[in-house]
Amino acid sequence: MSNADSSPVSGLLSGADAVAGIETGGTKVFCAVSPADSPHEIVDSLRVDTRDPESTLGDIADFLGRHHMRTPIRAVGVASFGPVDTDPASPHYGSVTTTPKPGWAFTDLRRALAGLDPVPVSFVTDVTGSLLGERARGALQGLDDAAYVTVGTGVGAGVMVHGELVTGQGTPELGHILVRRDADDPFAGRCPFHGDCLEGLVSGPAVQDRWGRPARDAAEIELLAGYVAQLCLTLTLSVAPRRIVVGGGVSKTPGLLPAARRRLASLVGGYLGSTHPAEDPEGDYVVPPALGDLSGVHGALDLAASLLR
């Protein structure tokens, strides 16, 4: 039995061109279809829990196949949790690689799309998808230098500089930077690769290991905010974004983002000058996603539509 939430097929006329967007996250998957010439007009969607690969990818395949039979899907964009191979020249393109998520290491996500072949597909990381979505319709509109950070099941960042996504030998993995430990923090960290890297200290599973529940008192929130602020400082000093969006389940902790903005301003310490937005804890330099939980799937739809341009 699938934990699926899907609305009836509607809106698309038979024979019209459609695109599909898929966001696979550590706890949930979003799928959506829209007209190819209007990728942000979602006409049908599906949300399922991220379970084992076989059942999760099966739900995605069923959703896409149902639509493809009625309205041809011309392109698909996939924004996946990772690490994920996003190099089109790689033999493992579209595969999750060394993820700590149980059962998902080296999973080929293209299996869910087999029924659509030879439709073009593009893969990016989930945070990159969220960055694209927020830039198209949300808090990053009009900005060519921007970052999207997720603090949830994992921690990661998507980065755009001069209108181009930052890629190279893989994609940025800023969730695994080593941070300055809080003097009052005894937690060893839970990253299976690095122990107390950023993800090992502030991800959802790390928070659960620390306290057995979400952070709620002032000291707990300040602790997490200090680590999130260090990631924002790293982004600020290395790629100079005009705005940083912070999403993900942990980021919704009441009071976390205001505390992170205060801690960031303290860490910058006046070095960037009074006019730099990171120096203003009341400003809009570090903000939540305007599209909420739908940033990634909107980015995936936009990615799909770009394959047809």
Query: What is the model's pTM?
Result: 0.92
Are 82 and 167 in a shared domain? no
The reply to whether 39 falls in a domain is yes
Are 162 and 281 in a shared domain? yes
Residue range 25-45, pLDDT digits in tens: 888 999 999 999 999 899 999
Domain count, the chain: 2
The reply to whether 199 falls in a domain is yes
Are 101 and 197 in a shared domain? no
Are 268 and 155 in a shared domain? yes
CATH number, position 67: 3.30.420.40
Are 50 and 71 in a shared domain? yes
Are 271 and 188 in a shared domain? yes
Residue range 126-142, pLDDT digits in tens: 999 999 999 999 999 99
Residue 4 confidence (pLDDT): 45
Are 183 and 269 in a shared domain? yes
Residue range 269-307, pLDDT digits in tens: 999 999 999 999 999 999 999 999 999 999 999 999 999
Separation CA 1–CA 55 (nearest Å): 9
In this prediction, residues 168-183 reach a mean pLDDT of: 88
The reply to whether 133 falls in a domain is no
Are 182 and 279 in a shared domain? yes
pLDDT band of 168, cuts 50, 70, 90: low
The reply to whether 182 falls in a domain is yes
Q: Where are the beta strands (DSSP E) in the chain?
A: 4-6, 18-24, 28-35, 44-49, 73-80, 121-125, 146-151, 155-161, 164-165, 243-247, 286-287
Q: Under a CB-based contact definition with an 8 Å cutoff, are residues 305 and 75 in contact?
A: yes
Are 109 and 189 in a shared domain? no
What is the extent of the structural domain holding 223?
Answer: 139-288
Separation CA 251–CA 255 (nearest Å): 9
Are 235 and 298 in a shared domain? no
Which residue in 230, 229, 228, 226 sits closest to 218, CA to CA? 226
In this prediction, residues 73-84 reach a mean pLDDT of: 93
Torsion (CA) 236, 97, 199, 212 in degrees, nearest 10: 150
Are 283 and 155 in a shared domain? yes
The SS3 assignment for 176 reads helix
